[in-house]
């Protein structure tokens, strides 16, 4: 995670600009530890830089919830803050590398809004979950130029590596998204995908609820797969293989195939490693046989009140509201410099919570850095939040 230590933390006169980086406002935590968050806008992305006192020094790093991809954005913003505030950098892991040219010249990296507002249509679409080294993704995309590959990964260095290869190989049929696959399927229209690849997912043997494959994921996979579409799990983990078989056997209108030690055209880094250790490799494939109705979601994320009393926000701090659809939790509250309050929220479904901020200034509320993903649990959490803000 990019970070730097500076000698003195100078709050800036805000808003402030250093080159292309704009700092908007500062929000200070009311809790112990005294962290503050500086809103930052750079290259069309909004995120927070986090400041914390660390012994005699001051730590600047990116806030986990709003951290943008690629890392270059954070690195550049951290250096811009240090420069604008005339701070001396004591130590850092931030290089002054310029923007990765592959990210500049290629538009394969998409944001979730891209899919939420206008999901691509008109050609065969396959999804790859957790592409890692991207060997399988790149191989599939280059051998199937008419197919569009939507590729999800939450590990930022893997995303940067994949983008680099996409540019070098000049592939134009891959869309990369930095997003949790378990959340993403909600945006996919019904009966759309021909394949979903989940190759060598993290086994999470001690925390099975964190696995990509689970009841909700499989239900959503069946909805989004076209008839005869396939959800392909490849794993070296016997536990995961058994768990997937069990999970696939619940829903009706599906069949499944199991294969052991099947050779495929391209092997991943993980597969090479397991093969050297002579581990078995399992393929567990679910085949959908259903035409699913279109998913309809009512509502949006607007706030209905004409003027919100921002004093209500700190009273919600550390409160959790549990409901049938999921929950809403106000983790921490922050005061905003020029007036206003902010809450750090976790909301939505228990196994796929959304983490973001709510800002109330001048009686108006907004989510930061973007609205929640338009899922049914998030819409329910928003209705509850709206009611709470009404007092």
Ligand X SMILES: C[S@@+](CC[C@H](N)C(=O)[O-])C[C@H]1O[C@@H](n2cnc3c(N)ncnc32)[C@H](O)[C@@H]1O
Nearer to ligand X, 270 or 368 (CB): 270
Binder among 3, 67, 182, 195 for ligand X (CB under 6 A): 182
Q: Which residue stretch of 14-22, 84-92, 94-102, 194-202 sits at the interface with ligand X (rule: CB under 6 A)?
A: 194-202
201 binds ligand X (CB under 6 A): yes
Per CB under 6 A, which region of 179-187, 254-262, 320-328, 377-385 contacts ligand X? 179-187
250, two tokens: 């619940």
In angstroms, the CA 63 to CA 40 distance is 11
Interface pattern 111-150 for ligand X (x via CB under 6 A): ------------------xxxxx-----------------
Residue 373 in the binding site for ligand X (CB under 6 A): no
Q: Are 256 and 287 in contact (CB under 8 A)?
A: yes
Exactly one of 165, 268, 333, 375 binds ligand X (CB under 6 A); that residue is 268
| Cβ-based neighbours of 102, under 8 Å, separated by 6 or more | 160, 163, 164, 166, 167, 168
Q: Please tell me whether residue 241 binds ligand X under the rule CB under 6 A.
A: no
Whether 145 contacts 119, CB under 8 Å: no
Asked if 200 interacts with ligand X (CB under 6 A), we say yes
Q: Which residues pair with 321 in a beta bridge?
A: 328
SS3 252: coil
- 3-state secondary structure (DSSP) of residue 67: coil
Q: Quick check: 180 binds ligand X (CB under 6 A)? A: yes
In 141-281, DSSP assigns E strands to: 148-153, 174-178, 193-199, 225-235, 254-260
Q: Which of 1, 101, 202, 297 binds ligand X (CB under 6 A)?
A: 202
Count residues contacting ligand X (CB under 6 A)?
A: 21
CA 150 – CA 383 distance, rounded (Å) = 31
Looking at residues 313 to 332 of the shown chain, list those that interact with ligand X (rule: CB under 6 A). none
Smallest distance from ligand X to CB 186, Å: 13
Q: Binding segment for ligand X among 63-71, 161-169, 187-195, 198-206 (CB under 6 A)?
A: 198-206
Does 158 help bind ligand X (rule: CB under 6 A)? yes
| Residue 217 interacts with ligand X (CB under 6 A): yes or no | no
Beta bridge partners of 360: 341, 365
Helix residue ranges, H only, 238-375: 238-248, 269-276, 312-316
Contact 193, 185 (CB under 8 A): no
Tell me if 244 contacts ligand X by CB under 6 A. Answer: no
Binding site for ligand X (CB under 6 A): 129-133, 152-155, 158, 180-182, 199-202, 212, 268-270
């Amino acid at each position: 995670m990019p970070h730097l230590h500076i000698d003195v933390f100078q709050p800036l006169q805000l808003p402030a600009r250093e080159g292309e980086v704009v700092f908007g406002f500062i929000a200070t935590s009311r809790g112990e530890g005294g962290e503050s968050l500086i809103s930052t806008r750079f290259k069309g992305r909004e995120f927070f830089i986090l400041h914390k006192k660390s012994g005699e020094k001051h730590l600047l790093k990116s806030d986990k919830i709003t951290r943008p991809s690629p890392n270059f954005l954070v690195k550049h913003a951290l250096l811009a803050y240090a420069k604008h505030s005339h701070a001396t950098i004591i130590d850092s892991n931030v290089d002054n590398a310029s923007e990765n040219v592959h990210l500049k010249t290629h538009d394969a990296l998409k944001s979730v809004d891209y899919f939420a507002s206008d999901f691509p249509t008109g050609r065969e679409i396959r999804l790859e979950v957790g592409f890692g080294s991207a060997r399988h993704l790149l191989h599939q995309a280059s051998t199937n130029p008419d197919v569009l590959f939507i590729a999800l990964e939450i590990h930022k260095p893997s995303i940067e590596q994949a983008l680099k290869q996409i540019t070098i190989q000049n592939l134009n049929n891959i869309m990369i998204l930095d997003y949790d696959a378990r959340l993403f399927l909600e945006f996919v229209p019904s009966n759309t995908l021909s394949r979903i690849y989940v190759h060598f997912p993290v086994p999470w043997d001690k925390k099975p609820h964190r696995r990509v494959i689970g009841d909700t994921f499989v239900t959503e996979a069946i909805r989004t797969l076209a008839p005869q579409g396939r959800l392909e799990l490849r794993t070296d983990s016997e536990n995961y293989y058994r768990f997937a078989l069990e999970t696939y056997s619940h829903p009706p209108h599906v069949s499944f195939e199991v294969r052991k030690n099947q050779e495929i055209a391209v092997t991943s880094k993980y597969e090479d490693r397991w093969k050297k250790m002579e581990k078995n490799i399992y393929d567990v494939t679910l085949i959908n046989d259903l035409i699913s109705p279109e998913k309809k979601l009512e509502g949006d994320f607007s706030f209905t009140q004409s003027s919100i009393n921002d004093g209500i926000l700190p009273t919600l701090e550390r409160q959790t509201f549990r409901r049938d659809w999921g929950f809403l939790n106000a983790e921490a509250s922050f005061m905003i410099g020029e007036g206003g309050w902010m809450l750090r929220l976790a909301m939505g479904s228990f196994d796929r919570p959304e983490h973001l901020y709510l800002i109330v200034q001048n009686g108006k509320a907004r989510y930061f850095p973007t609205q929640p993903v338009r899922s049914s649990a998030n819409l329910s959490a928003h209705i509850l939040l709206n009611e709470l803000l009404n007092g």
